[in-house]
Amino acid sequence: MERIPSAQPPPACLPKAPGLEHGDLSGMDFAHMYQVYKSRRGIKRSEDSKETYKLPHRLIEKKRRDRINECIAQLKDLLPEHLKLTTLGHLEKAVVLELTLKHVKALTNLIDQQQQKIIALQSGLQAGESWVP
């Protein structure tokens, strides 16, 4: 049976607890052992490193929110007036997104219909029919 290596370093690399011999558990200091085996993820950040992390993170998040808001404002400007008038007053961001989806779906359906008409007209012309507008 093959041995699966553990995530912990081999015993030779571990610092030995004072007074610990083979099979002797009487000198084991569990607080010391906990610190030795504690994962790096569990180590808490100092207050300084928390603040140095928070500041760039806040700026990054603010830039992200600003980009989202700018894109929503551009979408609002692209909406046809008749869709904007269906709502009362200020258009919320969610409403702008919903109206944009509605408009894009309507345009997609219109394109599909126009393509079907083009195909029908092309096949009619190929069959020898004359096209009269």
59-72 residue pLDDT tens: 999 999 999 999 99
Measured CA to CA in angstroms, residue 133 lies from 23, 88, 124 at distances of 100, 42, 13
pLDDT score for 33: 52
Q: Quick one: which of 99, 93, 87, 104 has its CA closest to 71?
A: 93
pTM of the model: 0.52
**Do 19 and 40 meet the contact criterion of CB atoms below 8 Å apart?**
no
Domains of the chain: 11-42 (no CATH), 47-125 (4.10.280)
Residue 45 or 125, more confident: 125
For the chain, give the mean pLDDT: 75
User: 4 burial class (0-12, 13-18, 19+ CB within 10 angstroms)?
Assistant: exposed
Q: How far apart are CA 81 and CA 70, in angstroms?
A: 19
The pLDDT of 5-9, averaged and rounded, is: 48
Return the higher-pLDDT residue of 54 and 5: 54
